[in-house]
Chain A
Amino acid sequence: MNITIEINDEDKEFQVKPGEILLDLLRREGYTSVKEGCKAGDCGACMVLVNGRAMTSCTLYAAQVDGKRITTLEGLNDELADSLRQEFLDVGAIQCGFCIPGVLISSYSLLTHNPNPTEGEIKAALDGNLCRCTGYIKQIEAIKNVARDLEGGNNERRREKI
């Protein structure tokens, strides 16, 4: 069957097999920031934004997102995304980096909907993203820093870094 997705701000039509999951579709179409870590919805490495909400693409059929808006890390290039990336680099929140696309998708989704999250809200937003390298400490710190900058309207600091 054919489906139409707005993916990273581009309308695209894909032919999909019945039962094909979104993760497999995205990877075969070259969106390889979307990682396969468990294919069971447990690790979060395959997260994408579906209409702006972070979801695991391994638990969705491709057909389910027909007509929807999908954003992968490749398509996250606005100021918030760049600030998150920069802060993750600056505080050392990236080790192997395999979980990072999913973590950034979750972080972006969180700060879009809640620019001033508490630590508890950050932890809750990231509880579906398993990371074995960092122990999460610096990831949480990075998100806090970006949120603090957002709250203070301190865009200058971020621009400097970019």
Chain B
Amino acid sequence: MSEDEKRFDVVSHNLPKVDGEALARGRRVFLDDIENSPELVAGILTSPLAHAEIVDIDTSRAEKLPGVESILHYGNVPRVPHTTAGQGYPEPSPYDAYIFDNRVRFVGDRVAAVAGTSWQAVQEGLEAIEVEYNELEPILDPARSRESNVQIHPEEDASGIYDSDRNIAAHVDIEVGDPKRALDEAEVVVTQKCKTQFAQHTPIEPHVATAHLDEYDRLIIRTSTQVPFHVRRIVSQVVGVPIKKIRVIKPRVGGAFGVKQEILLEDLVSLFALRTGKKVKMRYTREEEFVSSRTRHPMEVEVRLGADKEGRLTGITMEALSNTGGYGTHSLTVLSNVGSKTLPLYNEAPSVHFYGDAVYTNMPVPGAYRGYGAPQGYFALEVAMDQLAEAVGKDPIEVRKLNHIQEEETSPIFEKLGEGKEGTVQYIHSCKLDKCIDLGAEKIRWEERDAIKRNYKTEDKARGFGISINMQGSGIPLVDLAAARLKLNEDGSFNLFVGATDLGTGSDTVLAQIAAETLGVDLDQVVVYSSDTDFTPFDSGAYASSTTYVSGNAVKKVAEDVKEQILELAANYYDLGPKDLDIAKGKLLTPAGSVDLSEMAIKTTSGEIELDQKQIEATASEVPAESPPPFAAHFVDLEVDKRTGEIEILKYVAAVDCGTAINPNLAEGQMEGAIVNGIGYALTEEMEFSDTGEMTNPSFFDYKIPNTEDIPEIEVILVESDEPTGPHGAKSVGEIGIDGAIPAISNAVRDATGIVLTESPFTPEKVWKKLNEGK
């Protein structure tokens, strides 16, 4: 039993997920199962061209087909500029999207949609729509896009675009200290440019949504989403139905990773339901999920580090060029996070310059994806840190320890750069990064690496070790709002209502553990109901590593409130002071002994003498003032086959400080899943395109995500700290695990072979070419 397990009764314990049994039995908890036979289904006609105007769209033939009930296109839907990004209002993303437009901006963009009585009728309807396009020059390269006179968003009703003449969706430029001088005067300067690819989230459950009108003509939307409250607001905005007439319900979600922070089907099912009066279901096929949903922003990031000859950083500049595809959803905030989630890590540098553009192209649309810009930033930054270590003749660990942020320290970046705007001042209250580094190094045998490499007697293969350290955040300070409601039942159990959205991460369980711990009851006394806009209070949604920290704090507050109410009532009843009483392990503790909580609970509803009869309940809100970063150190031990360029990871170790792990199994699971996702991003996953911008590998057969045969030995170490602002000491753990793989692998390959891999994914072809450059 660990110290924390002794400290807590429910938190820090490996309790099975509250929804686990239903999932393990394959019960009907996913939307496609709940709505297995809707009245209508619908599909989307997508653009075969990367850039075109729609001159004419003729649906007359499709309308006459049997089974076709409704067709939507730009000519018959409202034109409302909006963003598909499910972000807090007012959204930091430009309003550059329309339900349908007379212009298409990437292969896979929406052209029309058909609802019909069967998938076959829908398919035939889609095929019978005739579209006349005026093809425009496609702009596929972001660097060219800025210089091109072809405009991707010329429409006058779009807003929030930084410079639409130059196709720049968003721009960031922040400076602290005097970075130019710092770099000019630095004793050592290293420059590193790295480039990342288009990658997809690939939740195993593709997007799915249904809508219908209930008996009172209210629009009921069920959707596999991360952001039910933002769905309600954005559907209201674009479809023109007031918020009070919309209810959004989230079922279990079959994986999301950011791609379900986007409103992609909800507007269409809503319009179809309003027009036909019938229940309509839409779901992406796997191919549509690849081509038409969202991806990760490909970027080129250049880092320059200035340091003294000891390796102490004096200045950092970071320039990012982000490809935001046809639409600017999340363009500004992901770009901001490239700097804001990376640069504070090395707060030793007094001078920092971060700047960049997110540029439109006629390519698929990136959006939110686990890590949210941090993986792209860390690639260049952490590869540069290894170059710096070599330049000053020090161990990569030593250089990092010399420069990284520590407890009670701050970074001016926290204030200068937030989510697309200024941030907030923040001091670090918990940071066990040094311990993460030390434990990780021990497990990977960092100190023995030279001997291991020396004794690795094979001419064809080279062995190498690499490190990357990272931080992330825990929610968006002074922007996010999470609320929770808790009520007592007469058997001493509680209903916990949260707007927070469990994507499969286990957040319903984590939040229930926080409530149970705070109340002093067992986990099975807390019944969670989450993410229903009619019945649960507001929550911004599951993104930005917010749920455990932000929603968790709301849950802790509401549980404290309810506990206080119970103790007050009990004190009245027993004629004691509230301080004479407590609740622990489901029992009400009185000076005279303990009674089951249910004995007091039943009295609250049954009107016994001298006890006020009332529903004990409360609602609490949380707006975080800070975003305490979790910290992690990733280590890789690998070999490179010099004949083929193939990289084989022999062992991967990651140590993470996520504060208190509310449920250690689930926290490890977040890390393990993110690490494997990161390894895929580093080695195999890449959306490939024809020279006309069409994705050529939109299937799991051709777009290679890791399977069981691809994973190395992985060891995750939870290095607990006690975050004073977090619920029971917790910080976040959802995203940080994906930040380390690319730089740690690149650094290990360099350690093995001397080549610096700067373009992900590190395919055998790329590695082999680098190995044989100049031969």
> Taking A97-B23, A126-B708, A137-B672 as contacts, is the C-beta distance between A28 and B505 under 8 angstroms?
no
Chain B residues with Cβ below 8 Å from A91 are 665
A interface, over-half SS:
loop
Total contacting residues, chain A, CB less than 8 A: 52
- The chain A residue sitting closest to B679, CB to CB, is A135
* Contacts of B660-698 to chain A: CB distance below 8 A: 663, 665-666, 668-669, 672-677
Known: A28-B37, A89-B24, A136-B708. A40 touches B665 (CB 8 A): no
Within 8 A of B (CB), among A1-50: 27-28, 30, 32-40, 42-43, 45
B365 CB-CB contact with A under 8 Å: no
The reply to whether B255 and A39 form a contact with Cβ atoms under 8 Å apart is no
B36 touches A90 (CB 8 A): no
B286: chain A residues within 8 A (beta carbon): 37-40, 42-43
Given the contacts A37-B206, A136-B708, A94 and B23 also touching, CB distance less than 8 Å: yes
Whether the pair B708, A45 counts as a contact (CB closer than 8 A) is: no
CB distance from B560 to the nearest CB of A (A): 28
Contact indicator B711/A96 (Cβ below 8 Å): no
- Contacts A32-B36, A135-B672; A127 near B707 (Cβ below 8 A): yes
Interface of B is mostly: loop
A67 contacts chain B at the CB level, 8 A cutoff: no
A101 to B28, alpha carbons, bound, how many Å? Answer: 12
- A73: CB under 8 A from chain B? yes
Contact A73 B21 (CB under 8 A): no
- For chain B, residues 330 to 345, give those with C-beta under 8 angstroms from any C-beta of chain A: none
**Which listed residue, A35, A39, A140, touches B285 by the CB 8 Å rule?**
A39
Interchain CB contact (< 8 A) of B700 among A36, A96, A130, A134? A130
Asked if A32 and B707 sit within 8 Å, CB to CB, the answer is no
A99 within 8 A of B: yes
Contacts known (A90-B16, A122-B708); A95 close to B204, Cβ less than 8 A: no
- A:77-133 near B, CB below 8 Å: 85, 88-101, 104, 122-124, 126-133
Give the complex CA separation of A34 and B32 in angstroms: 11
Cross-interface CB contact of B504 among A39, A98, A123, A129, cutoff 8 Å? A98
Specify which chain A residues have a CB less than 8 angstroms from the CB of B256 in the assembled complex.
96
What are the residues of chain B within 8 A of A129 when measuring CB–CB?
707-708
Q: Is B562 an interface residue (CB 8 A)?
A: no
Cβ of A138 under 8 Å from chain B = yes
Q: What residues of A have a CB within 8 angstroms of the CB of B23 in the complex? A: 94, 96-97, 100
Complex CA distance for A38 and B200, rounded to whole angstroms: 14
Which residues of chain A are near B204, meaning CB under 8 Å? 35, 37, 43, 45, 96, 98-99, 130-132
Nearest neighbor of B24 in chain A, beta-carbon distance = A85
Q: Is B701 among interface residues, defined by CB-CB distance under 8 A?
A: yes
How far, in whole Å, are A88 and B669 apart by their CA atoms in the complex? 12
Contact check, B669 vs A38: say whether CB atoms are below 8 A apart.
no
Complex: A127 Cα to B706 Cα, angstroms: 9
18 intermolecular pairs with C-beta atoms under 8 Å apart: A40-B286, A43-B204, A90-B14, A92-B16, A92-B668, A92-B669, A96-B203, A96-B253, A96-B256, A97-B29, A97-B254, A132-B673, A132-B677, A133-B505, A135-B676, A136-B676, A137-B672, A138-B669
Binding site for B on A (CB under 8 A): 27-28, 30, 32-40, 42-43, 45, 72-74, 85, 88-101, 104, 122-124, 126-140
Extra contacts, 8 of them, besides A39-B285, A137-B676 (Cβ < 8 A), are A37-B204, A72-B26, A89-B20, A95-B666, A96-B254, A97-B19, A97-B24, A130-B707
Interface residues of B (CB under 8 A from A): 14, 16-17, 19-30, 32-33, 36-37, 201-206, 252-257, 285-286, 503-506, 663, 665-666, 668-669, 672-677, 699-701, 705-709, 711, 714, 716
